[in-house]
């Protein structure tokens, strides 16, 4: 790659004029392969009900999100060039993710804790949703389409 190395070690003027950072082609194919593998993993894992096996809710969700976040980071870092680019782009994108997390957390702080206080006494009462929150257990495994 003739221009692949044009970056920081060149003079300032050069740096301002030569702007392309060309990523080696094998990097793109390696990332693509990793994304395919990630998709296969996440589909395969979904056929195993960890919630039942481990007796803890949301394990499948957790596993799926770990895989999805890994895939997303790969896309961001290589396909979207965040690994090589000015860090301000990564900061911009990450700040959106942070405000998304705030949106999730504070909205959930309401919707998951409703109806737990006795209106008249202001005291803690039993969570009326507790029964509904049990992880799906007796439901059949996924049927093929």
Partner 1 sequence: MSGSHHDNPYLAHHFDTPRQQLEANKLGIWLFLGQEIMFFSALFVGLMIFRSWYPQMYHTAAHELSVPQGAFNTIVLICSSLTMALAVRWAQMDVPNNNRTVFWLCLATFALAGVFLVVKYFEYSHKIHVGTLPGKFFDPSNPEFPAALKQFDNAKLFFGFYFCLTGLHGIHVLAGMGVIGWIMVRARRNEFNSKNFAAVECVGLYWHLVDLVWIFLFPLLYLVG
Partner 2 sequence: MSVAATASGRVPHYLEAGKGIKSWLVTLDHKRIGVMYLWSVLGAFLLGGLAAILVRTELWSTGQTIMDANAYNRMFTLHGAAMVFLFIIPSVPAALGNILLPIMLGAKDVAFPRLNLASYYIYLVGALFALAAIAFGGVDTGWTFYTPYSTSDKVANTAVMMTFAAFVLGFSSIFTGINFIVTVHKLRAPGITWFRMPLFVWAIYSTAILQVLATPVLAITLLLFMVERTFGIGIFDATIGGDPVLFQHFFWFYSHPAVYIMILPGMGIISELTSTFSRRPIFGYTAVAFSSVALAIFSFLVWGHHMFVSGQSEYASALFSFLTFFVALPSGVKMFNWLGTMYKGSISFASPNLYAMAFMFLFSIGGLTGIFLGALSTDVHLTDSYFVVAHFHYVMMGGTIFAFFGGIHYWWPKTFGVTYNEGLAKIAVALQFIGFNITFFSQFILGTRGMPRRYFNYPPDFEELHRISTIGSYIVFAGFLLTAWYLIASLRKEKNAGDNPWHSVALEWQTSSPPPVENFVETPKIKHGPYDYDHPDAAPLVLASASSNRKAS
Residue 111 contacts partner 2 per CB under 8 A? yes
Instruction: Find the Cα–Cα–Cα–Cα dihedral 35, 84, 80, 5, rounded to 10°.
Output: -90
Size of the site for partner 1 (CB under 8 A): 65
Our finding on whether 127 is near partner 2 (CB under 8 A) is no
The answer to whether residue 128 forms part of the interface with partner 2 (CB under 8 A) is no
CB of 1 to partner 2, least distance (A): 27
Residue 80 sits in the site that holds partner 1 (CB under 8 A): yes
CA 87 to chain centre: 20
Per rule CB under 8 A, is residue 41 in the interface with partner 1?
Answer: no
Give residue for tokens 């029964």: 131
User: Using an 8 Å Cβ cutoff, are 124 and 137 in contact?
Assistant: no
18 lines the binding site for partner 1 (CB under 8 A): yes
- β-bridge partners, 99: none
Measured from the CB of residue 87, what is the shortest distance to partner 2 in angstroms? Answer: 12
Q: Binding segment for partner 2 among 14-22, 30-38, 39-47, 88-96 (CB under 8 A)?
A: 88-96
The residues that touch partner 1, with contacts defined as CB under 8 A, are: 1-3, 15-23, 25, 28-29, 31-32, 35-36, 39, 42-43, 46, 57, 60-61, 64-65, 67-68, 71-72, 75-76, 78-81, 85-86, 88-89, 92-93, 95-97, 99-100, 103-104, 107-108, 111-112, 129, 132-136, 139, 142-143, 145
């Amino acid at each position: 790659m003739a221009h692949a190395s044009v970056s920081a070690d060149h003079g300032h003027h050069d740096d301002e004029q030569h702007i392309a950072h060309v990523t080696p082609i094998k990097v793109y194919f390696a990332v693509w392969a990793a994304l395919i593998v990630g998709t296969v993993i996440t589909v395969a894992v979904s056929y195993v009900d960890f919630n039942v096996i481990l007796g803890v809710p949301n394990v499948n969700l957790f596993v799926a999100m770990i895989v999805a976040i890994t895939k997303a980071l790969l896309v961001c870092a290589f396909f979207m060039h965040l690994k090589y680019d000015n860090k301000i782009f990564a900061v911009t994108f990450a700040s959106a993710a942070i405000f998304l997390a705030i949106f999730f957390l504070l909205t959930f702080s309401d919707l998951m804790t409703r109806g737990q206080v006795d209106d008249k006494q202001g005291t803690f009462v039993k969570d009326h949703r507790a029964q509904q929150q049990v992880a799906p257990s007796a439901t059949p495994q996924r049927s093929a389409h």
